[in-house]
Amino acid sequence: MSHKRTREEADLPEDPGEDLLLGTQESSLFELQVEELLNGARVDYVREDDVEELIAKLSALLRSLPVKKLDGPRGEAAKYLKRMGMPQKSLRFAPPERVCAVGGWVYRTLASPNRTVDVAMQMPSSCFDEKDQLNNRYFARRLQYLAEVATVLRRNPAFKDVSWDFLQHDARRPVLVITLQRAGGETCAIRLLPVLAPGTFPLTKLAPERNNLRASAGPAAAGADKDAPGLPATPHYNAAIMQDMLLDMQHQVLQDAIKAHPNLGDAIILLKVWARAQGSCGQPDSINGFLLSMLAAHLAATGSLVHAMKPLQVMRAVLNALQQPSLFSKGTAMQRRSLEASAGSASPPSPAAFCRHHVAVFMDPSGHLNLAAHLSKSAIAEGQSAARHGLRLLDQAADQEAAFAELFLTKHTPTLTYDASWRVSVPLDGSSGFETSDVLPHRGMEARVEGVAQQALGTRAKSVRALREPLHSGPSLEAASSTPSSVSILIAAQLDTGEALRAVDMGPPAESPKAGAFREFWGDRAELRRYKDGNIAESVVWECGPSERHLVVDRVMDYALKRHLGAACAVSGHAGLLDAVMHRRNAHPDEQANARRQIEAAMLKLGKQLRSASSLPLKIVAVQPLSAAARHTAAFPPLPHPFAGGHRADPSAKVDRCLDTIDLLAQLEGSGKWPDNPRAYAKAKAAMGCQLADELASGFGLHAHASEHCIDVLADGFAFRIFLASERDSAMADASPAAQAGKESLTPPEAMLARTAEHAALRRSAKHHAMLAALSGAAPAFPAAAQLASRWVSVHMLSNHITEPMSELLTAAAFAADRAALIPGSRLSGFIRFLHLLSTYSWRERALVVDPNAELAAADRETAVAAHSKARREGMAPAMCIIPAYDTGNWLGKGLSASVVHRISALAQRSLSVIQGHVEGGLLTPGVVQASVFTSALADFDALLQLSRDALALAPCAVLSHKAQRAAVEQQGFSSAASILPLEALQEGSKHSRAMLKALPQELVRKHKMSTMGQNLLLGFKPVELYVESIEQRYGGVATVCADAQGGGLIGIKWRSAVQKAHELTIDTAHAVSPAAATSAVRSSKAAKRQRMANGIGVGGAVTLDTTSCLAEILVMGNGLVEHVFVKHGSVT
Amino acid sequence: MVKESSDGFTALPLQITQGITYQRYLYLKQHEAEGAKSSGLFVAGVPFFHHDTRGVLQELFEGFGPVRDVVLHPSKSSAVVVFEKPGTRQKVLDAAQAKQLVQLKLQEPERAYGLKGLVEAHKACFPGNAVLRKRLDDWTEEFEDEEARKRREAAAAQEEQGWTVVKRRGGGRKSSDGQGAAVGGVALAAAQAIAAGKKEKHLTNFYRFQQKEKRRSELMDLREKFAEDKRRIAEMKAARKFKPV
C-alpha cells in the first residue's frame, strides 16, 4: 500500500512537519541533540573575520625578512640541538616563499573550543643542502629557521607572544604558536607550521626501508651516498621529513573532499568532538582528528559516503570503517594524485614495504607517505574498541540521551576507560641513541615497557596500553622539552574478569619448544607443575590469601617489569588502593573473605533442611536469599559467631552482642485452606512459622525463634531470618487495609520488622536479589565494587539517604552496558564509575533506569521515563529518582531533598577527582587518597551527636576510632555543647536506659556462663537506624539528619535555613521553635521585658528555631545511645 | 473551627526535667470544636516524653484545674486538652500571657526506656515459640468465637425479620469432579485473584475503522513524541548541556 493512500485513508490533516516526522521517527532525539551539539561546536567564522587580517599581516612581516647567513644556532636552539644530539650547522636564512592558512580553519571544520589556526610557512629550498635529509641535518636547520622567525616575531609587538609546541609530540618537529590579542579582549592562537616544497629532497631516499641516520657520523660516512647494507631502516624519521613536504597536498585533498560532500565538514566536527571525548586524541601515538578527517575523505572518495547522508550517518560510516581490524594492519591507500612536476616522478614504494616497517599503514594521496606512521598497536586497539562501542551506542542504545552523553559529552579519562593501571618509572641513560635511533629513546622505552606488560598479563588483560608522555608546549624550548633521566609511564589495562585473578599462569608443556621462552620471561618463578589431567607444564604460581586475590595482577606486573627493566624501575599499582577501609579492626581480612564463603555454604545447607522439613502441614518448595550479605555486596558480612555454633580463627576474638541476620524467603506450597480474613491469615502464617521453628529445633537441633513476622534461626555460626511466603500473599495484601491500621501501636523495632515482612517489600527484595545475582555472574567485579560503594556511602554519613538497595542499584547502573565501553573489570574501576555516575548524572532532570541485564522492554522503559518526566513538568518529581527494572512503578530515592542530592554529587565529585589525580598524576600517597576519599565532611553540619562506643555493635568497622573521631570533630570547628546543655546528667545515665552492645571479651563470657544463646545475642537489631528514624520522624521538617550505619559513631544535624529565620508559627514545626522575642529577652533589660509584658504578647507572630531545646530533646530521645553533643563554634549564643 | 493563623497562639514557657533540664514553649490556642462546650485548648509543640505523653499532659494541665480529656495527634506533637470547667482554660492562657514559667519535673520511668527500651522491645518480638504459639492460638480462638457470634447474630437478625434460615448440609468439599480428575479446593480470595487476572480478548484489527484509528493514533503519538523531544532539547540547551569537552 502506498504511503499516499495510507495518509488519505487515515484522513490526516496536512502538516508541513510530517515528512520530517516520518523520516526521523526512530532517532529524532538523537538527531536533534546532534544538531545542537554541532551548533555549539562550530566556530563562528564571521565573528573571527579579523583573524584573516592578522594572518595577512603575519605573512607580510615574514615575507619581508632579509636574507642572511647564520653561522650556527644560538641561544635556546643551540642548547636544544646539543641535548638532542643534532648537528649544529650554518643556515642561509631566506624569507618564506609562502605563508597561508591551512587545515580546519580554511575548510571550516574546527571544533570549538579548539580555535587554533594552522598557518603553513614554506621554507625556501635554498636554505637546505642537497643531502640534508641525512643525520638530522634537516631537523636541525628547521629548528634554526624557526628560532630565527621566533626572534623576529618577538620583536614585533603584535606577535610577541610566541611559544613552542611539537607536532604529534615529536621532539624532532617543533612548531611555533603565536597567541594574538584580538579586539574585545579575546585571544586566538596561530600555529606556524614550517613546510617544504615537495621536491626539496628526493622521495625515493625517504622510502620506509631506507636508512638516513648513520651511526658513525664522521665526514667519511657522511659522504657515502648509498645505504650501507645492514643499516637498520629509519621509517619514522623518514616519514617525519616527508610530512613537512607533503602537507600541502594532503590539505588540498581534504579541502576538495569537503567541498564535494555537503555534510562531510560537519561530520568531521562530530568526529573530532567524539575523539576528544574518548580521550584518545591527545596521545602522541593515537588516532587524531587529522587522521579521522583523512579517513572520512578517503571514504568519500571511494564512494562509501553518499551525499544524502547526514553528519551522524557519515560519522557512523567512518566509525564502521575504523573498527575493521584490517583497515590499518593490511594497509589502506587513498586515491592517488600525481605530484607536481618539480617533485620528480619517482614511483612510490610498494605497499608491502610499508607494511614491513609500520604497524599501521594508511597511504596519503602521493603514495609516498604513511599517514598512520605514528600509530602504535595498542593505540589502534584503543581507537577501534572506542569505535565499536560508539557503533553499539548508535545502533542499539536503550536510552538515547545517555548514549549521546556517553558518545560526545563525557570525557573518558584513562581511569574511566581502563580497569587497572600502574605507574612505572624507568631510569633512562641520558644521551645515547638520539643520533641514530629511528624512534626517540623515551618513546622506545614506552613501547618496550608496554611489550613486557602485555606479555606479563597475557590473557589476564583484554588490552594493555602504555600511555605515552605528551610533550608540553611552553614559552621556551628548554621548558618544553627536557630530557629527563627517567621516564614515568602510566600503563593501563582492561582486564578479563574471568582470567585476571587466577593464581596460576600455565605455560607451554615441558617439552614444547616454547618452554624456553617462557622460562626466559619468568626466570626463577617459572616451575614445572603437574596438573590433575596429567599434563606437565611450565607454570608460574602466585601465592595469595583469600582476601588478596585482587592483588595478583599487581604482583605479576611488579615482578615481570622489575625482572626485565632492572631493579631500579619502580612499579606502583592501585588494585589494593582502598582495601584498608574494608577491614574490621577486630578481624583479619582473610577471615572476612572466608565468612562470605561460609555464609554461602550455611545458606545452602539450611535451604536443604528447610525443604526437607516434613512435619509442616505445607511443604517449603523454594528458598531464596534476600540480603546483601548473601550476594557478597555487603561491606561487612557477619562473621561466624560462637553462640551460633561458628568458630572464629582468632581465639582471643571478642564475642559480639549483636549479629546481623541473613534474610531468606521460604516459599510454601499452595493450599486452599488458608483463612479468608487477612488478619487471621497473618496469624495462621505466624503459627506456621512457630511450627517450623519447632521442627528446626527438634529435627535439626538448630536454635530457632519465631516472631509474628519471621523465624530467626542460628545455623553454622550465622543467623538467618526466614520469611514465609505463599501464593495467597498478594491477594491478602490487596485486601488488607485493616491490617495496616493496627501497625501504629507497634514498638519501633517491631514496626521495622513488620515493614520488611510486608508482601510487596519481600517480593521487591527477591527480585532485587535475582537481578543483582545475575549481574554478579556477568560482571565478577560487581560485588566488590558494590562493597566499596556502600562503604563510601556510609563513611560520608549518607546511610539514611542512600539506602543499601539504592547504593547497589547505583553501582549496578555503573556496570550497565550502555554506560561503559567495557563492563568494569576491577573493584576500583567499578567504584570510580559509581562515583562518576553520582557526580555527573543530572538527577534533577532525569530518572535513572537501572537495567544492567537489559531485561526491560523498550516500551516499559519509555512508560517509566515518561511518568517521571510528567511528574517533573508538574513539579512533583523527586530530587533523585532511581527506577529499578524489576519494579518500574517503585521509585527509589524519593525522600531525598534537593540539597542532599546536591551534597551527594559534590562529595562524589571530590572523591573522584582525588582518585583520578592519584592514579593518573601519581602525586599523592595511597594513605592520603584513602584519607580524603573516606573521610566524612563534617564541617557542613551544625551539630554532631557522638554515640556511645558501648552501644555500637559495628564500632570496629569504623574508619576512625572513637578517640580519633572526637579529635576530628574538634578539629573541624566543633566544640562540646556542655555550655548550653547539662550533659553530665545524661552521661551518668541509668540502668533503665543503658545497654551494652559492644563485643565482650571471651573470659567474661565464660565467667558469666553466657555461652548459651539465651537472651544474650541480639539478632538483626539496629538501634542507630531506629534512632535516626525517630529523629527524622519528629524533626524531618526542621533538620537534615545524616548517619553512618556501618559503625561510624556520629550523627550529623543540619538545621534547615527556612526554620532558622524568623517565620510564622506552623503547627508541624511548633515543637522546635521559640518566640523570636523570647530569645533576645534573655539579654535585654528589665524595662524592655516589662514593656513586653504590658503589651501582653506571647507570640509576636514570628518564631525562630530553638536549637538548644531541639538538641536537648534529641538527646533525651537517644537516652543511653548518645554520649556527647557537639555544636559549631559560634552557633552558641 | 481551628483558626490557622499563628496570631491566635500564646506561648507558655515550660521547664522540663527529664535526665536533663531544658526550657521550651508550648503554643496554646482556644479550641472551638463544633458542638463542644468552649473548654478545649489546642496545644502545639508538645515535647517528647519517655513517659506516656497523654498522661504527662493531663498531669501538667491538672495543675490549673480538672482535666476531662486529652486527645493526642498521631504525630505526638500537638494535642487538644478539654477541661472540666471553661474557666480553667482562661487561667492557662492568662498564665501564658504573663509568661509564667511552668516547671515539669519527671521522675525516671520505671520500665526500660531509651536504648534499653529498644533492646527490650526487640526482645519482645521474639517471646519464645511456646509463648508465641499460645498467643496466636488465643487470638485465633477469640477471632473464631467472634466470627461465630457475628454469624449467629446475623442469622438471628434474619430470623427475626421473618426469614427461614436454611442450614447447609454437612459434607466435605468435592475433591474430584466425578470423572477421575482431581479438583483442588480453591479459596474465594485466590479465585477472585485469578478472575481479576483474566482479560477479555478483543480483535483489535478487525474493522477497517479500527485500522484507520490505529494508524491515526500512531501518527499522533509520533507527533507528540517529536514535540516532547523538542521540549527536552530546549531544556538541555538551557542547562548548557551541549558544551563540547
The CATH number of the domain holding residue B38 is: 3.30.70.330
Instruction: Evaluate whether A119 touches A28 at the Cβ level (below 8 Å).
Output: no
The answer as to whether B151 is a domain residue is no
Domain final position from B105, B136, B155: B105
- Write out chain A residues lying below 8 Å of B110, CB-based: 992
Mean pLDDT of chain A: 82
Query: Can you tell me the mean pLDDT for A865-885?
Result: 87
Q: Nearest by CB to B115, which of A25, A1023, A1065?
A: A1023
Cβ contact, residue pair A992, B108, below 8 Å: yes
pLDDT of residue A393: 86
* Banded pLDDT at A27 (limits 50, 70, 90): low
Distance from C-alpha of A366 to C-alpha of A363, rounded to nearest angstrom: 8
Collapsing DSSP to helix, strand or coil, A193 comes out as strand
Mean local confidence (pLDDT), A89-118: 84
| Contact present, B61 and B32 (Cβ < 8 Å) | no
Whether A1096 has a pLDDT exceeding 60, the answer reads no
Condensed to tens digits (0 to 9), the pLDDT of residues B8-48 reads: 788 888 888 887 888 888 888 887 766 556 678 888 888 88
- Which of A404, A1071, A1090 to mutate to test binding with chain B, by most B CBs within 10 Å of its CB? A1071
Summarize pLDDT for A258-271 with one digit per residue, the tens: 888 888 888 999 99
Percent of chain A with pLDDT over 70: 88
Grid-cell match 568526529, residue found: A271
- Calculate mean pLDDT across residues A602-616: 89
* Model pLDDT, residue B1: 30
- Provide mean pLDDT across the span A311-333: 87
Q: For the segment A357-371, what is each residue's pLDDT rounded down to a tens digit?
A: 888 888 888 888 888
Nearest neighbour of B10 by CB, restricted to A18, A684, A1099: A1099
Domain assignment present for B143: no
CB atoms within 10 A of CB A10: 16
Closest by CA position to A59, among listed A107, A102, A109, A116: A102
Q: Is B72 exposed, middle or buried (0-12, 13-18, 19+ CB in 10 A)?
A: middle
What's the pLDDT at A17? 43
Residue B3: pLDDT band with limits 50, 70, 90 = very low
Query: What value does the CA radius of gyration of chain A take, rounded to a whole number of Å?
Result: 36
For A527-567, write each residue's pLDDT tens digit: 888 888 888 888 898 888 888 888 899 999 999 988 888 88
What pLDDT shows up at residue A785?
Answer: 93
- Domain A589-761, CATH class in plain words: alpha beta
What does the pLDDT look like over A174-193, one tens digit per residue?
Answer: 888 888 877 666 777 888 88
Report DSSP state, residue A69. E
Number of domains in chain B: 2
Asked if residue B123 is part of any domain, the answer here is no
Dihedral of alpha carbons A707, A713, A717, A718, sign: negative
With an 8 Å Cβ cutoff, is B39 touching chain A? no
At residue A62, the 3 state secondary structure works out as helix
Mean pLDDT (whole number) for B199-203 = 68
* β-sheet bridge partners, residue A190: A117, A178
> Is A418's pLDDT higher than 60?
yes
* pLDDT category of residue A1008 using cuts at 50, 70 and 90: low
CA dihedral A195, A199, A201, A203 (to 10 degrees): 110
**Cα–Cα distance, B134 to A862 (Å, whole number):** 52
Test mutation, A870, A1099, A1123, chain B, max B CBs within 10 A:
A1099
Predicted confidence (pLDDT) per residue in A1062-1073, tens digit: 888 888 888 888
Q: Which residue has the higher pLDDT, A169 or A12?
A: A169
pLDDT of residue A56: 87
Per the CB < 8 A criterion, the answer to whether A108 and A181 are in contact is: no
Containing H/E element for A294? helix A289-301
- Specify if B52 maps to a domain: yes
In a domain, B112, yes or no: no
- Is residue A219 helix, strand or coil? helix
CB atoms within 10 A of CB B32: 12
The per-residue pLDDT for A225 is: 46
Instruction: Compute CA A714 distance to the chain's CA centroid, rounded to the nearest angstrom.
Output: 41
Which range, of A42-56, A597-611, A701-715, averages the lowest pLDDT? Answer: A42-56
CB contact under 8 A, B77 and A408: no
Q: What is the pLDDT of residue A22?
A: 42
Domain A46-196 has CATH 1.10.150: no
Which candidate in A1113, A1115, A1117 is best for mutational testing of the B interface (most B CBs within 10 A)?
A: A1113
Rounded to a whole number, what is the distance in Å from the CA of B89 to chain A's nearest CA? 16
Q: How confident is the model at residue A666 (pLDDT cuts 50, 70, 90)?
A: very high
At A345 the pLDDT is 64
pLDDT on residue A18: 43
Which of B76, B105, B134 is where one domain is finished? B105
Helix axes B114-125, A1023-1035, angle to 10 degrees: 110
B133·A842 Cβ contact <8 A: no
* Grid cell digits, residue A272: 573530532
CB atoms within 10 A of CB A1101: 16
Q: What is the CATH number of domain A414-503+542-575?
A: 3.30.70.3020
Which long-range contacts (C-beta less than 8 Å, at least 24 apart) are formed by A509-514?
A509/A535, A509/A536, A509/A537, A509/A538, A510/A536, A510/A537, A510/A538
* Range with lowest mean pLDDT among A161-170, A722-731, A733-742, B153-162: A733-742
B118/chain A closest Cα distance in angstroms? 7
pLDDT of residue A788: 93
Sequence length of chain A is 1133
Same fold, A46-196 and A939-1128: no
What is the share, in percent, of chain A residues with pLDDT greater than 90? 13
Those of residues 80-109 in B touching chain A at CB distance below 8 A are 96-99, 108-109
Q: Return d(Cα B143, Cα A683) in angstroms, integer.
A: 10
Query: Would you tell me which residues 125-154 of chain B have a C-beta closer than 8 angstroms to some C-beta of chain A?
Result: 125-129, 132-133, 136-137, 139-140, 143, 147
Put simply, whether B23 touches A (Cβ < 8 Å) is: yes
Does residue A205 sit in helix, strand or coil? Answer: helix
Average pLDDT over residues A846-875: 86
Chain A CA closest to residue B232: A29
Q: Compare CB distances from B7 to A32, A1070, A1101 and report the shortest one's residue.
A: A1101
pLDDT at A8: 44
Distance of CA A735 to the CA centre of its chain: 47
Instruction: Please report residues of B whose CB lies closer than 8 A to that of A677.
Output: 143, 147
What pLDDT sits at residue A1086? 45
- What end-to-end distance do the CA atoms of chain A give, in Å? 82
User: In the CATH hierarchy, which top-level class contains the domain A232-408?
Assistant: mainly alpha
Average pLDDT over residues A630-656: 82
Cβ(A486)–Cβ(A493) below 8 Å: no
**A708–B122 C-beta distance less than 8 A:** no
Domains of chain A, by residue range, sit at 46-196, 232-408, 414-503+542-575, 589-761, 780-935, 939-1128
Which stretch of A43-52, A152-161, B29-38 has the lowest confidence by average pLDDT? Answer: B29-38
Q: Sort out which chain B residues have CB atoms less than 8 A from A1068's CB and list them.
A: 75, 77
Q: Residue B178: what pLDDT?
A: 60
Residues of the domain holding B48:
8-105
B187/A1026 touch (CB, cutoff 8 Å), yes or no: no
For the residues A938-949, what does the mean pLDDT come to?
87
Q: Which of B105, B139, B170 is the last residue of a domain?
A: B105
Q: How does A228-242 read in b/e, with b if 16+ C-beta sit within 10 Å?
A: eeeeebbbbbbbbbb
Which residues of chain A does B99 touch, with a Cβ-Cβ cutoff of 8 Å? 1093, 1098
Alpha helices in A164-226 (DSSP H): 219-223
- Cβ contact A261:A305 at 8 Å: yes
Residues B119, A712: C-beta atoms closer than 8 Å: no
The whole-number average pLDDT for the span A208-224 is: 60
Q: How far does the CA of residue B174 sit from the closest CA of chain A (Å)? A: 13
Q: Is the pLDDT of residue A79 over 90?
A: no
A276-289, pLDDT tens digit by residue?
Answer: 888 766 788 888 88
Q: What is the pLDDT of residues A973-994, one digit of tens each?
A: 888 877 777 766 665 556 677 7
Residues whose CB falls within 8 Å of the CB of residue A1027, separated by 6 or more in sequence, listed in order: A1051, A1117, A1118, A1121, B118
Q: How far apart are CA A134 and CA A846, in angstroms?
A: 61
Among A52-56, A202-206, B6-10, B113-117, which stretch is predicted with the lowest mean pLDDT?
B6-10
The C-alpha cell of A260 is what? 564535494
In CATH, what class is A939-1128?
A: alpha beta
CATH value of A780-935 in 3.30.1280.10, 1.10.1410.10, 3.40.220.10, 3.40.50.300: 1.10.1410.10
Any domain includes B37? yes
Judged by CB atoms within 8 Å, which residues 192-231 of B form the interface with A?
A: 192-193, 212, 215-216, 219, 222-223, 225-226, 228-230
On the question of pLDDT at B191 being above 60, the answer is: yes
List CB contacts of A740: < 8 A, sequence separation 6 or more. Answer: none
